[in-house]
Amino acid sequence: MGLPLTSGPVAVFIALEQGTAFAAAAAVGALAGAIAEALFCLVYGRVVLRASWGPALAWACLAFALAGLALQIVPLPLFPVALVAFTSFALVRRLVPAGSNASGAGRLPAWDIPARMVITTVLVVLLTEMAPVLGARLSGLLATFPLYAAIMTAFAHRLEGPGPALRVLRGLLLGLFAFAGFFVVLGALIERTGIATAFVAATAATLAIQAGSLGVMLAHRARA
């Protein structure tokens, strides 16, 4: 879920329709959104052991909204935001409990995958059309709303318990390193090299970082 599966397509359409400068600013907004995602994980991870999935999800979404608002009020350049983002991922992952494996995996309802596809498509189209009104940074921020994380964490919590939900959150936090890498490269290159080159480089960086994150996860699992 750390891959830019929603925000990546949004960034492509924004760059094509609004230009590279707009897309570069949106990349900074996406990095700010990644910081807000980390706070989403932190709040859900601290509430999950004391509340059901509904209140935990509500508090986590509120944390995302407040963090996003604060980061809009105090805008920062690309690389300082990136530094804060990477630091926050590492710190929050240490603060979110490890969780446990599910005792019995619950089955997702039949409408789950189609619903995600429809919601994601609507989100991409809506943000692309509203980008001129919302502005670059806010468009980038909203594109990072943890839609997949909210769905998968809430379902894991509801069907399997707090432990599996915590494992989903920790996986997301590890994946956010690749997500942030995508937008750091995109924001740094898109005005200099053009859309195609910047997106190819950003995708390559994402896959490389994700491979490293997967290696870290597998090594940790082997030690456990």
The pLDDT, as a whole number, for residue 172 is: 87
**What does each C-alpha distance from 114 to 50, 54, 102, 120 come to in angstroms?**
31, 22, 25, 10
Q: Which pLDDT value is given to residue 195?
A: 93
Distance (Å, whole) CA 148 – CA 130: 21
pLDDT value at residue 151:
79
What CA–CA distance (Å, rounded) separates 151 from 37?
14
Closest CA to 85 of 17, 173, 3, 150: 173
Given this model, what pLDDT does residue 103 score? 47
Distance, first Cα to last Cα, the chain: 23
Please name the residues in contact with 54: beta carbons below 8 A apart, sequence gap of 6 or more.
Answer: none
Task: Return the pLDDT at 80.
Answer: 93
Distance CA 210, CA 41 (A): 19
- pLDDT given for residue 124 in this prediction: 63
pLDDT along the chain (224 residues), means of 10: 77 88 89 91 89 89 88 83 94 83 57 70 67 66 74 82 87 90 95 94 93 80 68
Which of 111, 89, 112 lies closest to 36 in space, CA to CA?
89
pTM metric for this prediction: 0.81
Q: How many CB atoms lie within 10 A of CB 184?
A: 24
- The tokens of 116 are what? 């995600």
Amino acid, single-letter form, for residue 199? F
Q: Looking up tokens 């995600």, which residue turns up?
A: 116
